[in-house]
Amino acid sequence: MKVRELKVAGATEFTPEVYQDRRGSFASPFVASAFATAVGHPLFPLAQMSHSTSRRGTLRGIHYTRTPPGMAKYVYCPSGRALDFVVDLRLGSPTFGRWDATELDGDSCRAVYVPAGVGHAFVALQDGTLMSYLMSRGYDPDQELAVAALDRTLALPVPDGLPILLSDRDRTAPTLAEARFRGDLPGYRASIEAEGTL
């Protein structure tokens, strides 16, 4: 398992070995020992597993959970191809406002760990892109928040030429500055504490 620390503190990319032969391929996108060594704690107790399918150009996010309670995610793309983003929304974090991008697809079996308080977004690069999420908490719409993925101050590198599709929620999401002004952003200390209780 290859591990890469992302530019957002605590966010990590995992790339497993993919074994191929004439029958197809085999890979393990999650390995507990590699995760614990890289992140410093075992994977959170699994509360929910979800998946989404998306048309090419679908942009989902930047989504995050109010902290507390906070939610961590382990994200994987078993089929299709997506450009995945982690964005540090934690006030007081040494990497606040920074983001990193990882290409996820079914061939590489790469996965990304998104810690509590960190925002997550992706844009589907192919029709039928399937994204799978392991989550530390069940979905609670009253706790879910969003920041605009097309916020110019963040300048996420959404590829040119894609027919961008946004949900109404994502289209009307506040910018990072607006979310900060509203008091909607999580604190770094609260996020670290939430991470410790997962």
Give tens-digit pLDDT for 46-59: 999 999 999 999 99
Contact 136, 198 (CB under 8 A): yes
Q: Which residues lie below 8 Å from residue 136, measured CB to CB, with a gap of 6+?
A: 44, 45, 46, 47, 70, 71, 72, 73, 116, 198
Q: Is 150 helix (H, G, I), strand (E, B) or coil?
A: coil
Q: Which residues of the chain have pLDDT under 50?
A: none
Contact 98, 47 (CB under 8 A): no
End-to-end CA distance of the chain: 23
Kindly report the pTM of this predicted structure.
0.95
Per-residue pLDDT, 97: 97
Per-residue pLDDT, 197: 76
Cite the active site residues. 63, 133
Q: Which of 141, 142, 148, 145 shows the shortest CA–CA distance to 171?
A: 148
The answer, yes or no, to whether the previous bond of 69 is cis (omega within 30 of 0) is: yes
Domains along the chain?
2-17+44-196 (2.60.120.10)
